[in-house]
């Protein structure tokens, strides 16, 4: 399509509320348009970029045996009450009551929904292991949206859920998924992403990693060992007093931004 026919305008001036280069270029280049704080519409060029990224993600998830599903955005609160997260999750979970006076939520993540599917579809251990994933719009009532698409209230998430017969099988598959995420970031051209130990948070689980993008506009802090490989952790879970024989150096502190953080469990 010719640029003259492309829907959406390219702008000469930076948006008044933009403080990061990515935010400025996304708006000026005609990729996105703000609708409300932390909520954006994707224009055609932005939608094409997202579609290409999603295609890469699907290829890598299918490569490790994933099967794509699509779960509902609106979920009955009963599922979240059963897991205990209806009470434990804060105001970022949007709760509401439908016209039949039934308590509902907007799914900000889908552990409960995936377990509900597993209960109906998995009848024997012979069907395991299995992994399902989806690419879907999520909504979290973020208290402080900022920096364009860096921290938003509505966003597209790829979330995956696997079921296993043993902890050993789960641990092995965790490593497969971790490698898949590394391939995804390499293929989309994000060369400075660092995988670090992180807090499991509301997701739960015994081990969690997040992929952090080193950037000047970052707000988070991570600890790296002198060689950049032996130890990598978020400040929330970093262990103090570690010594490294090679140099005896203390762990340096780095600021990072996390526009595409993922937790794999």
Q: Spell out the domains of the chain, with CATH numbers in brackets.
A: 11-189 (3.30.930.10), 192-265 (no CATH)
- Residue-wise over 38-48: b if at least 16 C-beta within 10 A, else e? bebebbebbee
Residue range 221-238: average pLDDT? 70
Q: Quick one: pLDDT at residue 182?
A: 92
CA-to-CA distance for 132 and 20, rounded, in angstroms?
35
Query: Looking at 140-229, which runs of residues are DSSP E strands?
Result: 154-163, 193-197, 209-214, 220-224
Q: Is the dihedral of CA 35, 16, 152, 182 positive or negative?
A: positive
Take residue 216 and report the two structure tokens written for it. 């000047």
CA-to-CA distance for 98 and 102, rounded, in angstroms?
5
Assess whether pLDDT exceeds 80 at residue 229: no
User: What backbone phi and psi angles, to 5 degrees, belong to 42?
Assistant: -95, 125
Query: Which of 29-33, 127-131, 187-191, 252-256 has maximum average pLDDT?
Result: 127-131
First CA to last CA across the chain, in angstroms?
A: 42
Take residue 121 and report the two structure tokens written for it. 């579809």
Residue range 156-177: average pLDDT? 94
Assess whether pLDDT exceeds 50 at residue 228: yes
State the pLDDT confidence band at 112, using cuts at 50, 70 and 90.
very high
Q: Quick one: pLDDT at residue 168?
A: 94
Take residue 83 and report the two structure tokens written for it. 């897991």
Q: Quick one: pLDDT at residue 22?
A: 86
Q: Quick one: pLDDT at residue 260?
A: 38
Assess whether pLDDT exceeds 80 at residue 87: yes
Q: Quick one: pLDDT at residue 186?
A: 92
Q: Quick one: pLDDT at residue 9?
A: 86
Percent of the chain with pLDDT over 70: 83
Residues 169-179 have pLDDT tens digits of 999 999 999 99
Q: What is the CA radius of gyration of the chain?
A: 20
CA-to-CA distance for 85 and 153, rounded, in angstroms?
19
CA-to-CA distance for 151 and 148, rounded, in angstroms?
7
List Cα–Cα distances, 15 to 18, 141, 183, 212, in angstroms: 5, 23, 34, 26
Residues 4-41 have pLDDT tens digits of 788 888 888 888 888 888 888 999 999 999 999 889 99
Residue range 48-64: average pLDDT? 96
User: What backbone phi and psi angles, to 5 degrees, belong to 168?
Assistant: -65, -40
Q: Quick one: pLDDT at residue 237?
A: 67
Pairing of strands 209-214, 193-197: antiparallel
CB 43 within 8 A of CB 54: no
Q: Quick one: pLDDT at residue 262?
A: 38
State the pLDDT confidence band at 92, using cuts at 50, 70 and 90.
confident
Percent of the chain with pLDDT over 90: 49
CB 94 within 8 A of CB 141: yes
CB 265 within 8 A of CB 208: yes
State the pLDDT confidence band at 210, using cuts at 50, 70 and 90.
confident
Residues 135-153 have pLDDT tens digits of 999 988 888 888 888 788 8
Nearest residue to 46 (alpha-carbon basis) of 28, 68, 70: 28
Residues 186-201 have pLDDT tens digits of 999 987 788 877 766 6
Q: Quick one: pLDDT at residue 80?
A: 94
């Amino acid at each position: 399509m010719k640029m003259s026919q492309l829907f959406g305008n390219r702008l000469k001036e930076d948006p008044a509320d933009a403080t990061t280069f990515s935010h400025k270029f996304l708006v000026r280049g005609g990729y996105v348009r703000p609708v409300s704080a932390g909520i954006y519409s994707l224009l055609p060029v932005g939608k094409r970029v997202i579609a290409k990224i999603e295609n890469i993600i699907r290829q890598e998830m299918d490569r490790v045996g994933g099967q794509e599903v699509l779960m509902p955005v609106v979920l009955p609160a009963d599922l979240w009450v059963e897991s205990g997260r209806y009470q434990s999750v804060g105001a970022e979970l949007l709760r509401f009551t439908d016209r039949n006076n039934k308590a509902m939520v907007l799914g900000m993540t889908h552990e409960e929904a995936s377990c509900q599917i597993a209960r109906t579809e998995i009848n024997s251990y012979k069907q395991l292991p299995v992994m399902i994933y989806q690419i879907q719009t999520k909504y979290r009532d973020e208290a402080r949206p900022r920096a364009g698409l860096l921290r938003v209230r509505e966003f597209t998430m790829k979330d995956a859920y696997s079921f296993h017969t043993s902890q050993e099988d789960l641990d092995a598959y965790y490593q497969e998924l971790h490698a898949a995420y590394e391939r995804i970031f390499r293929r989309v051209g994000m060369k400075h992403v660092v995988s670090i130990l992180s807090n499991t948070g509301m997701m739960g689980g015994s081990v969690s990693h997040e992929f952090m993008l080193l950037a000047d506009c970052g707000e988070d802090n991570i600890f790296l060992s002198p060689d950049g490989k032996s130890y990598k952790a978020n400040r929330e879970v970093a262990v103090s007093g570690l010594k490294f024989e090679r140099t005896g150096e203390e762990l340096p502190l780095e600021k990072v931004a996390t526009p595409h953080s993922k937790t794999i469990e």
